Amino acid sequence: MTQQEDKAPVPRNKDNKCSGPFKISDNPPHYVSAVEYTDIPEMVRVINLDKDIYNGTASFQYPYLESHARTRLENAFIRDNQSGYTSCWAMRSSPDGQMIGWIHAHFLPEDSGTRVHPESGRELKVGAIGYWVSPEHTGKGHASRAARWVVQEYLFKERGSDIVRAEAYTHNVPSRKVLEAAGMECEVEEWTVFIPKLQKKMVICCYAIHWDDATRSVVTDKTRDP
């Protein structure tokens, strides 16, 4: 047992808002609920099935270890317990079922204080999302539905975001369709950026959706790291 595994993990506060389960489709049955430490074995199994999720994202390691998943959840729970809101959900086919996909939301700290609402002058709140679906469950609308729910119900209505952003590799057509299904529009079609885990440059695209038209002039800041 490593020193990290030896320590009791930071618990998720069950009272955190927006933990679910929320039913977001009847057919196929589709629920989202807070990710739990008990999801770790399935997370690790799915992410290691093949390189689909590794290839589609900028962040995952391969192979993906239990310690990676545990650190990811622990960091999320520390932040969630402070904010009082869940921010990482498992997609499931029943309220307590096995995880079939993952979706998370966060706020972009780079924008805080540097950008203001063009009409009211107050600081903008800019959310972002990321997701994956097990290759065994893709092509059934799970990512599109979950992304729509997180953008509309969570980031806009519950958290009061002004803008929600997301990025995908330009060639990742399924992911781009997910963002479009969530109501987002492509703001930057091609941006060549260095991806540390690949140690090479890749072309990404940037999508956004705005709560009101007044912020449409606030576009992706290409001077910062994506």
Ligand X SMILES: CC(C)(COP(=O)(O)OP(=O)(O)OC[C@H]1O[C@@H](n2cnc3c(N)ncnc32)[C@H](O)[C@@H]1OP(=O)(O)O)[C@@H](O)C(=O)NCCC(=O)NCCS
Which residue of 172, 183, 186, 193 would you call a contact of ligand X, by CB under 6 A?
Answer: 172
Amino acid at 8: A
181 touches ligand X by CB under 6 A: yes
> Contacts with ligand X in 30-69 (CB under 6 A)?
52-53, 56-57
Which one of the spans 62-70, 74-82, 113-121, 134-142 is the region binding ligand X (CB under 6 A)?
A: 134-142
Q: Give least dist CB 219 to ligand X, A.
A: 19
Kindly tell me which residue out of 155, 178, 206, 209 binds ligand X, with binding defined by CB under 6 A.
Answer: 178
- Which one of 89, 131, 154, 156 is in contact with ligand X (CB under 6 A)? 131
Q: Can residue 144 be called a binding residue for ligand X (CB under 6 A)?
A: yes
Q: Which is nearer to ligand X, 133 or 184 (CB)?
A: 133
Contact between residue 59 and residue 45 where contact means Cβ atoms under 8 Å apart: no
Q: Half-sphere exposure of 9 toward its Cβ, with a 13 Å CA cutoff? A: 20
Q: If binding is defined by CB under 6 A, does position 170 make contact with ligand X?
A: no
Measured distance CA(14)–CA(11) in Å, rounded = 9
CA distance 156 to 20: 17
Q: Should residue 186 be labelled a site residue for ligand X when binding is judged by CB under 6 A? A: no
What is the closest distance, in whole angstroms, from the C-beta atom of residue 51 to ligand X in the complex? 9
Q: 3 to each of 40, 63, 74, 115, how far by Cα in Å? A: 18, 21, 15, 42
* Distance in Å, CB of 48 to ligand X, minimum: 13
Closer to ligand X by Cβ: residue 16 or 172: 172
- Least separation in angstroms between residue 212's CB and ligand X is 26
Q: Which is nearer to ligand X, 73 or 166 (CB)?
A: 166
The token pair that represents 61 in the structure block: 């390691």
Residue closest to ligand X when measured from CB atoms? 56
Three-state SS letters, 39-82:
HHHHHHHHHCCCCHHHHHCCCCCCCCCHHHHHHHHHHHHHHHHH
- How far apart CA 28 and CA 1 sit, in angstroms, is 40
Helices (H), the chain: 3-6, 40-47, 52-56, 66-83, 142-149, 173-181
Which of 126, 143, 163, 218 binds ligand X (CB under 6 A)? It is 143
* Footprint of ligand X (CB under 6 A): 52-53, 56-57, 131-133, 138-144, 168, 172-175, 177-178, 181
